[in-house]
Amino acid sequence: MITAVHTLVYASDAEAARAFFRDVLGWPHVDAHDGWLIFRTGPSELGVHPGTPGHEISLMCDDLEQTMAELGAKGAEFAGDVQDRGFGRTVALKVPGAGEIMLYQPRHPVAFDL
């Protein structure tokens, strides 16, 4: 039986990325061994969209501006402006050493609380 979804983020600077998830996002974690941190990410859902095969990580929030302000106060940086994309409002959140992930406030029904 499947018990959880495990997501991997590949980073050129794994220590900086781990510090971001630990210190900026404040995610609880365990040290699996030798500083290899595994984070509890909370509720999740998975969508499948047509397109070139690939994977994307997005963080959902209930108030985009408030979340941006809270994360910005902890040192988070954003790339570009807030975009209205129909399914919700989004902004690119920079992850040190690991590129960007989408932060968004959805307008669609969510599945993580089913």
| pLDDT computed for residue 2 by the predictor | 79
Domains of the chain: which residue ranges? 14-43+57-106
| pLDDT computed for residue 55 by the predictor | 87
Provide the pLDDT confidence category of residue 26 given band limits of 50, 70 and 90: very high
pLDDT in tens, 9-21: 999 999 999 999 9
Share of the chain above pLDDT 70, in %: 100
| pLDDT computed for residue 113 by the predictor | 82
Q: State the fold for domain 14-43+57-106.
A: 2,3-Dihydroxybiphenyl 1,2-Dioxygenase; domain 1 (3.10.180)
DSSP string, the chain: -----------SSHHHHHHIIIIIS---EEEEETTEEEE---S------SSSS----EEE-S-HHHHHHHHHHTT--EEEEEEE-SSEEEEEEE-TTS-EEEEEEE-SPPSTT-
Residue corresponding to tokens 């959902």: 60
Query: Do 85 and 4 touch, CB atoms closer than 8 A?
Result: no
Whether 94 shows a pLDDT value over 90: the answer reads yes
| pLDDT computed for residue 63 by the predictor | 97
| pLDDT computed for residue 42 by the predictor | 86
